[in-house]
Structure 1
């Protein structure tokens, strides 16, 4: 495989696209992609009601999944364990941020995916229903993520036992929350898992990328429209200029990272850039490029065999973190107990 971007770490290409995955891609290209494209061309701003999360309540769960509602300071979450997973603080935990362009999806849409990740990683997972646009700007979503991390520490988990994961917009949150908790002096998380992550709201690199028009889920102009909407919400809430995209954050002290991306995704540009910058900063990063897979194909694990294989890769990565923790010397006394006043961690 030839990478589209010169990266310090060679991407790991995961070959093969099953009939199921190709059918999924074809279906998305002729249903979801046109709808998103139409939204992006509307001459006025509209945020669709989050009906998809309501309907997702009807979806069956991975066998043996257990969860309970957790009330964080300003949003809800759920403490989820797959079959055979206990809550021992000896093994660690995960926190998960769903995707949905910061405007849609939620706990219901991602419960099945989170359950499968819990089962593969052998970890309980805090699935976070963070606040979203249009009611709140992205910085508020990050604040809710920091609060979720603090909740896990309150349960007895150390920062270096907590893996932060997310897909699409949730990948943006995974890096942003990791940066915020480290800047607070709470310690370094165990690792980051980013699935088809949106990491850069500047569309310049996406426009120049070979994948600019090959994505089966998102047309490029939809990413451009999302960036404009996010800036408008920042301006309305008086936080314009206070949000830094993950690709532009200080990265040298970041934890080990696993990034999954489909080979035709428009967000390939973001994944390659982040892998390049992390590795150049000396941070272990594995970029897995999945042959012809769609955006967050892992959510289709009941149908697509490559999705099940990808979730196994995530589980292996998380379990490996516990067996071989990444050590970087921290200044004496630099790790302190979290304060539940998460406003300190995010400049809102």
Structure 2
């Protein structure tokens, strides 16, 4: 049965709620972006879901007074969380820990003389049929439009994300380029799940079954839930970002992956395609790290420290 308006409102209110897991030195607030009002690029209107408002979480260091800074002078990381499109929230403790670590690295980064914030949309999850593809993309694009409309300059915006959110980061950049929206200055992805088909895994990816933290079947179920009964193929470029027809206007890109990840093919394919176009792209692989390593701060301490420093240099460079 379709959701009632009351059920929709209740779910939206849940998405707009922040957890209590915000580090003490981080200021967090939430704003509501209006539903996507412009035509969705590259998709027929008939396949779109009902537009909804989108909660957007803003993170900054308490030590930095952003009230005195104009949006156009602010460096922004537009961060899209992962979770296989069936779980995750920008204020989950693993994300607030990671994003706080990135903000601290930005504040102490060499040559940093501008304020930095992280803006994270809370998009619809594919846990019910009404929220399958392309609901998440509609929300993410609406959030991006809202941020641009607030006066933040695309030339200061880096689109970032991890796993499923990394895939969305790639697709969002493509949508911005294809719809003549202001395009971001860069893209950063942690192990993007940018190949949602699992039939042709490389031999290396297959060999990571015992190293990864989750069985391949879990990734497959998440992908199936995201696509739903839409009829779209898992290899469609808007579902698997590594298969986009990249162009020479693609912004510089940083890919951070682990060699113990069954989904590493997405990272390598993305790097290969961008390098073939001679686009500025860097793939950093951390030895034997499984999928989700970037969220396990106490286990992969050195790898995360290195990755966060690379993120800071990329954003500030």
Same fold (TM over 0.5): yes
User: CA 1:257/1:195 → structure 2, altered by over 3 Å: closer, same or farther?
Assistant: same
CA-atom RMSD in angstroms: 2.7
CA distance in 2 between counterparts of 1:212 and 1:182 reads 35
Contact 2:137 2:168 in 1 (8 A): yes
- Deviation digits for residues 107-139 of structure 1 (CA, Å, limit 9, x no counterpart): 221222222222323420111111110231131
Question: Distance in 2 between the 1:294 and 1:84 partners?
Answer: 34
Pairs within 5 Å for 1:1-348 = 57-59=19-21, 61-73=22-34, 74-87=53-66, 88=69, 89-109=72-92, 110-122=95-107, 123-135=116-128, 136-206=131-201, 208-210=203-205, 211-235=207-231, 243-252=238-247, 253-301=249-297, 304-306=300-302, 307-320=304-317
Question: In terms of mean alpha carbon deviation, does 270-279 or 295-304 score higher?
Answer: 295-304
Q: Is the 8 A contact 1:99 1:105 kept in 2?
A: yes
Structure 1 window deviating more from structure 2 (194-203 vs 212-221): it is 212-221
Q: Is the 8 A contact 1:205 1:269 kept in 2?
A: no
Counterpart-to-counterpart distance in 1, 2:30 and 2:311 = 25
* Separation in 1, partners of 2:174, 2:265: 21
Q: Give the secondary-structure state (helix, strand or coil) at the position aligned to 1:66.
A: strand
| TM-score, reference length from structure 1 | 0.69
SS in 1 for 2:272: helix
User: 2 CA distance for matches of 1:218 and 1:105?
Assistant: 16
Query: Which SS does the other structure have where 2:119 is aligned?
Result: strand
Deviation digits for residues 190-210 of structure 1, max 9, x if unmatched? 111101210011113325434
Cα gap change, 1:189/1:241 in structure 2, threshold over 3 Å: closer, same or farther? closer
Q: Helix, strand or coil for the counterpart of 2:124?
A: coil
Aligned length: 265
**Closer, same or farther in 2 for the Cα pair 1:129/1:191, shift >3 Å?**
same
- Contact 2:211-2:288 within 8 A present in 1 as well: no
Q: What's the secondary structure of 1:312's corresponding residue?
A: helix
1:171-228, Cα deviation, whole Å (9 max, x unpaired): 0110111111121211321111101210011113325434452442222232333333
Q: Which has the higher contact order (CA 8 A, sep 6+)?
A: 1
Name the CA distance, whole Å, in 1 between partners of 2:135 and 2:65.
31
Q: Any conservation in 2 of the 1:102–1:138 contact (CA below 8 Å)?
A: no
| Cα 1:272–1:297 shift into 2, 3 Å | same
TM-score (norm 2): 0.75
Give the deviation of 1:279 after TM superposition. Answer: 0.8
